[in-house]
Amino acid sequence: MASTNLIQWNPSATNQETDAEYLADSQRSGGYGTNNIVPSPLLNKATYQVTTFCAAFGQMMAAKGYTTSDASVSVLAAVLANVITEADLLSNLISLAYSPTPAFNAASANGFQMTLTGNITSSTISGVLPGQVVGFFFVQDATGGRTVSWPASFVGAMQPDPAANAVSLILFKADLSGNLRASGPLISNNGVFASNGLVCPTRSPGDNTTNAATTAFVTSAIASLKLFCTRTNKISSYFSGVTYTNSTGAAVFEEVSMIGPQNDNTGRTYQIAAVIDGVAGPWNGITNTSFGVASIGFWVPNGSTFSVTVSQTGGGIVSPPASISGWIEVSF
């Protein structure tokens, strides 16, 4: 159990100078003279002050789980080495000269800044402690477009802003396995860069105006959130009975309508049906309805096949038969 044997001298402050007397005492300010007799009130006060500090410091260390004792100077010095001073703190940021193969030492700094005059083709990092936060500033030169090959232990790392002279910052925090995980997006003077390359432009300080976003930015933002969709009229390119393959790279939604001929209430019925990957899908029908309309809708996963059939399922044959009247494809 943590403890201390550093004890206060004269804890009751008996027979010792007051603070005012101690301040005014010439032997305190000038030191003891040769062969001087030291009055006990002065000696008690001086000893009291020194031991009060030592006892308080020992109690503080014991409260933090350390044992302090005057039994060994070297042991006590080793315990006191756990007190963190400015000399123990890592530099928050150091500058590194450009190298295509830099070796970052996290035991010497919590941050690194480098001006990229070429690509970093490989890099390493050492000295990382669990929980350590490490930041990287990369400054593009006047050419720009320089890239970084991050160490293998980095998770969620992103390429710096490629714009000429752009300054990019990204922070990482080390987990218990020593992997450095990005704790947020990459930020440059041009905006915020997410892992999918999406850029959110920055605003000047104090700019509270409403800014109009560019079409490219809005399209990129919506697409990154999987909300962007396109509705296309396929009536001239998709036909009943033909099998198609969804090669758009994402799921699509098909909306197909059928219109029947005038049937004069003779009991004729018509059906529109879908087949997805060879399996029967949604269907709808009409019966005894002059120029009736029936519609279906269905999802088609990326890479799947689909077709739509229109057929007469009851009553005498009539000409012209029912037909596709509308086909809309919604791509996401």
Domain ranges of the chain: 19-86, 90-201, 230-331
Neighbouring CB atoms inside 10 A of 106's CB total: 21
Phi/psi at 161 (5° precision): -50, 125
pLDDT > 90 in the chain, percent: 66
Class of domain 230-331: mainly beta
Helix (H) or strand (E) holding 59: helix 40-63
Whether the upstream peptide bond of residue 320 has omega within 30° of 0, thus cis, is yes
Is residue 278 within 8 Å of residue 305, measured between CB atoms?
A: yes
How far apart (Å, rounded) are the C-alpha atoms in residues 218 and 332?
15
- Most confident of the ranges 84-88, 287-291, 300-304: 300-304
Q: Which amino acid is it at 199?
A: V
- Average pLDDT over the chain, rounded to an integer: 87
How far apart (Å, rounded) are the C-alpha atoms in residues 232 and 224?
21
Q: Is 116 left (phi over 0), alpha (psi -120 to 50) or beta?
A: beta
End-to-end Cα distance, the chain = 65
pLDDT of residue 195: 63
Q: How confident is the model at residue 87 (pLDDT cuts 50, 70, 90)?
A: confident
Mean pLDDT of 312-320: 71
How far apart (Å, rounded) are the C-alpha atoms in residues 215 and 221?
10
Residue 289 reports pLDDT greater than 90:
no
How far apart (Å, rounded) are the C-alpha atoms in residues 191 and 200?
5
